[in-house]
Amino acid sequence: MSTMRTLGLIGGMSWHSTVTYYRRVNEVVARRRGGHASAPVALQSLDFDDVRACQVAGDYEASARLLVEAGRRCVAGGADLVAIATNLMHKNHPQVSAALDVPVVHIADAVARAARAAGVDTIGLLGTRPVMEESFYAERLAEHGIAVVVPSAADRVEVDRVVFEELTRGLLLDDSRARYRAIVDDLASRGAGAVALACTEIGLLLPPGSGDGPADGSALGLIDTAVAHADLLAELVLAPGDVTVERALADLLAEGPGALTRAAGV
């Protein structure tokens, strides 16, 4: 019988990045445990059309109901912890967290952990307009001592457009990649020590460590938020069973990226 915890994953927003979560968590678990080991996951993949309709209408009460019900289905399926596999829908993290009796691991906590590991306290944010313009994400980072720099108003519109017209539809276009790289360079010139790809699809367009310039992650680090979140979730899945999820999470956030991910070699 597995001694690992079961991860509840609320995904489908979009399914492209949910694949990244599922793959990454299982890569860490498989390489750490060896053999045929894989992570116990209770996945609820929502219809993104439904969620997107809520976003466009600005009806985050309706989206909260969708996510809460998905979270409850994860818990009914045995989840010991739950994660929302998208940055923007962490607008509903408070409602989901309040409705469930298991921890709901916040993506911005994982981003702050990755930023500290990189030795930076100011990061740029590339994401949807609510993530870049509203306070819910930046305030969570500020709780960890991380300040943010965001693109110009015109660049925020373009970043958001690319996310919803291209990336969430699986389109990875060279022109958009070049535009994003220019925006990353601008954030670096304005004091960002790293840039968080704060939409879980952006890492598909700008994978950290690719390319040959600062905007591709060599001179300026790119934090793929989906990967950072998945790494933290994998460590919680693998944490000792005699330690509560809450305690394991507090310890991991205090220590930064730990031995489990490093030992996994990913």
Radius of gyration of the chain (CA): 17
- The CATH number of the domain holding residue 137 is 3.40.50.1860
Q: Determine, yes or no, domain membership for 35.
A: yes
Q: Determine, yes or no, domain membership for 2.
A: no
Q: Determine, yes or no, domain membership for 1.
A: no
Write out the chain's pLDDT in tens, 266 residues: 678 999 999 999 999 899 999 999 999 999 999 999 999 999 999 999 999 999 999 999 999 999 999 999 999 999 999 999 999 999 999 999 999 999 999 999 999 999 999 999 999 999 999 999 999 999 999 999 999 999 999 999 999 999 999 999 999 999 999 999 999 999 999 999 999 999 988 988 998 664 433 334 434 689 999 999 999 999 999 999 999 999 999 999 998 654 333 333 33
Max alpha carbon distance in the chain (Å)?
54
Domain that holds residue 12: 7-106+227-264
- Calpha distance 38→245 (Å, rounded): 19
Q: Could you report how far apart the first and last alpha carbons of the chain are, in Å?
A: 26
Q: Which residue has the tokens 């911005």?
A: 108
What pLDDT is attached to residue 216? 41
List the 81-84 sheet strands across, edge first.
41-45, 7-11, 81-84
Q: Are residues 92 and 25 in the same domain?
A: yes
List the structure tokens of 63. 């989206």
Q: Is 20 annotated in the active site?
A: no
Q: Are residues 126 and 158 in the same domain?
A: yes
Q: Determine, yes or no, domain membership for 75.
A: yes
Q: Are residues 257 and 182 in the same domain?
A: no
Q: Is 261 annotated in the active site?
A: no
Task: For residue 8, report the phi and psi dihedrals to the nearest 5 degrees.
Answer: -95, 125
Q: Are residues 99 and 113 in the same domain?
A: no
Q: Are residues 96 and 123 in the same domain?
A: no
Tally the domains of the chain: 2
The predicted model scores a pTM of 0.89
- Calpha distance 74→5 (Å, rounded): 13
What pLDDT is attached to residue 238? 97
Active-site residue (options: 20, 86, 225, 261) = 86
Q: Determine, yes or no, domain membership for 46.
A: yes
197 near 206, Cβ under 8 Å? yes
